[in-house]
Amino acid sequence: MNLWKEFTKGIVAENPIFRLALSLCPALAVTSNVYNALGMGITVLFVITCNNMVVSVFRNVIHPKVRVPVYIMSIATIVTVAMLVLEAYIPVLFKELGIYLPLVVVFAIILARAEVFAAKNSVIPSMVDGLGMGVGFTFGMVTIGAIREIAGNGSFLGYQILGSWYHPPLIIILAPGGFIVIGFIIGVMNLMEKRKKDKSEKAEMAAGGMV
Amino acid sequence: MTEYFLLFMSAAIVNNFVLTRYLGLCIFFGVSKNYRASTSMGLAIISIITLSSMLTWVIEHFILLPLGLYFLKTIVFVVVIAVFVQMLEMVIKKFMPTLYNVWGIYLLLVATNCVILGVPLINSEANFTFIKSTVNALGSGTGFAIALILFASLREKLQLSDVPKSLDGLPIAFILAGMLALAFQGFNGMIPL
């Protein structure tokens, strides 16, 4: 039950893209369509889970003074493995992601999870935390990718879903669109949070009145 | 000479790091609240980016390629740049304490950052010569500094304006960055590469 909680917190409450605003560079750069966003999301899911496990296994051996360099080395190694696998089996995706793939090494979210969670917990919870964060990251990426691909190209995963009546504004899949879309998504999430808060406050007031 | 000038302009303006390639957004949104801080940050980025891309070029061409260790590129670059920035910080702290007071913190902030790692990777992908790599790094750093300083001055104006509550803070900063990127989009295709 507790593990389930660790898993779900990464998806909603602490979603790495929308809530923590970490690792935004890739979120914008490769989300011009759903396929690339999904590919990047799954790569990060793999890296963050493996790295959390490695860090958690060695957490009692690593001297606190050198922990950050050790974490970075571990992340860089896992990213290299992921790159070699992608290059061998999905060369198209490898080409599309290009420069952003090796840059997974410096994503703040991966280092942050190692430091905040994996360094203090045992292997299984760390793995679940990594999986949750990775799924949350993938979910965020695919959401942005879907909005940009549908609005900017009228298609989803390459299939044309909006008819020929729709003339897509190209700007959405170009660089400026990424910034604007993510700005509005965070705005909508703020609005929803505020609504929820107001509602619970009202409910509390009503309950207080009853007593 | 024209070739180098074009490369510089292309890296600085046309393929601007933040606004068309989305690299270095953490710094871009983190530091740009303050005009002075963003100027120091811009200078720190220009110097570190140039020095570290020179360093990684030498390592790539004299160590990694002859030994056939090209696949270790990412790991080696990350470690070399992080160590180099730490050393630079120590040297500045020891010999130039006044400069350190203004700059020190920014040096550490950029130690492991996508801009600093991105330029050496782009250089190595494009197979640039030593001079071309340096020019590209200088241009990229300058472009980043220009974008950062422009954005910081826009954001200072933004503090006085009346923004819808749910868009206040980070969301409106994103939308503003989108507008700035739209302006930079106008340079698109001016220099064919």
- Model pLDDT for residues B81-111, shown as the tens digit of each residue: 888 888 888 888 888 787 777 666 667 667 6
- Contact B23/A191, CB-based, under 8 Å? no
Residue type, A26: P
Smallest Cβ–Cβ distance between B177 and the set A21, A83, A179 belongs to A179
Q: Which residue of chain B has the CA closest to A24?
A: B25
* pLDDT of B59 strictly over 70: yes
Q: How far is A72 from chain B (nearest CA, A)?
A: 8
What pLDDT score does A140 carry? 85
Percent of chain B with pLDDT over 70: 93
- Contact A24/B173, CB-based, under 8 Å? no
Residue type, A121: N
Which residues in B lie closer than 8 A to residue A187 (C-beta atoms)? 164, 166-167, 171-172
Count of helix runs (H) and strand runs (E) in chain B: 10, 0
Which residues in B lie closer than 8 A to residue A83 (C-beta atoms)? 74
Which residues in A lie closer than 8 A to residue B74 (C-beta atoms)? 76, 79-80, 83, 102, 105
Please check whether residue A73 touches B, CB under 8 A: yes
Q: What is the pTM of this model?
A: 0.83
* pLDDT of A207 strictly over 80: no
Confidence category of residue A24, pLDDT binned at 50, 70, 90: low
**B114-126 helix and B73-95 helix, angle to the nearest 10 degrees:** 130
* pLDDT of A108 strictly over 60: yes
SS3 A164: coil
Q: Tell me, what DSSP letter sits at residue B62? A: I
- Contact B79/A69, CB-based, under 8 Å? yes
